[in-house]
Amino acid sequence: MSQDRAIRTVPAMAAMKEAGQPITMLTAYDASFARLVDEADVDCVLVGDSLGNVIQGRDSTLPVTVEHMVYHVEAVSRGLTHPLLIADLPFMSYHDRASAMQAAAAVMRAGAGMVKLEGGSGVVPLVAELVAQGVPVCGHLGLTPQHVHRLGGYRVQGRDEALARALQEDARALEAAGAGMLVMECVPSALARAIAENLRIPVIGIGAGVDVDGQVLVIYDVLGISPGRRPRFVRNFMDEAGSIPAALAAFVEAVRERRFPDDQYSYS
């Protein structure tokens, strides 16, 4: 196996940050798309609770259950050979220690190599508990879709000074608790850059500018087939690629060359 097709691991992602190599991540929900993402040499694959929107046709991620996640993680894992497979823990599946352990065990047994959960200081103790039990954890800050009703909609987070400070503090707390990666969604580019520069763990952006350690998009957004209004941070790579494999390869290349996202797909 060549070096550039080595199996991706959590320590490998940390090494990529240390080396200044941008990390690529896409969602997948079935074995067929997983194979295509694998062939595009994507570093990480996320089975996101975004499946509630793009697979189930829901208007939020809240109806997604652990059972749904297990089904899709199992399917995706059968199509992968190289990327690190990350699975979301869905809404209210980690409201206490017991539920978090049960949900994490279920998706890890299904094939995930890391779990992702949303929130800051409120989930820090759970992150520490999961890590202590051998579960790699990816945090998620900024726009957290599971909290959409509390946030008042899908809005950019961290533009005011107080919330920006809170996000920085939460990021540091998640790292201190043992999180091995962090997703930052819909935050100003300067804030995301400051957080990435002050953490040892990789920071993966989605609507967080180019100056972080990697980028993630929903695969259906990359291919231009997601229903409804397209968020500002989404780029349709199919417009010029002409085929699914070419579009996925174009996303990987654009991220690794730091050409995506530019200002058009970022927030100030």
Instruction: Give the closest residue to 10 by CA, choosing from 138, 139, 107.
Output: 138
**How far, in Å, CA of 114 to CA of 137, rounded?**
6
SS3 content of the chain, % helix, strand, coil (to 5): 45, 15, 40
Query: What domains, with CATH codes, occur in the chain?
Result: 3-265 (3.20.20.60)
CA 156 to chain CA centroid, Å, is 17
Predicted local distance difference test score (pLDDT) of residue 151: 84
Distance CA 159, CA 141 (A): 14
Integer-rounded Cα radius of gyration of the chain: 17
Catalytic residues: 185
The structure tokens listed for 183 are: 């997703």
- Predicted pLDDT of residue 11: 97
Q: Which residues of the chain have pLDDT under 50?
A: 1-3
d(CA 142, CA 128): 20
pLDDT of res. 3: 43
Contact 136, 10 (CB under 8 A): yes
Q: Does residue 142 contact residue 186 with C-beta atoms inside 8 Å?
A: yes
Q: Which two tokens stand for residue 153?
A: 């909609």
Residue 103: enclosing H or E segment and its boundaries? Answer: helix 97-110
Name residues whose C-beta falls within 8 Å of residue 122's C-beta, 6 or more positions apart in sequence. Answer: none
**pLDDT (tens digit, 9 = 90+) per residue, 75-98?**
999 999 999 999 999 999 999 999
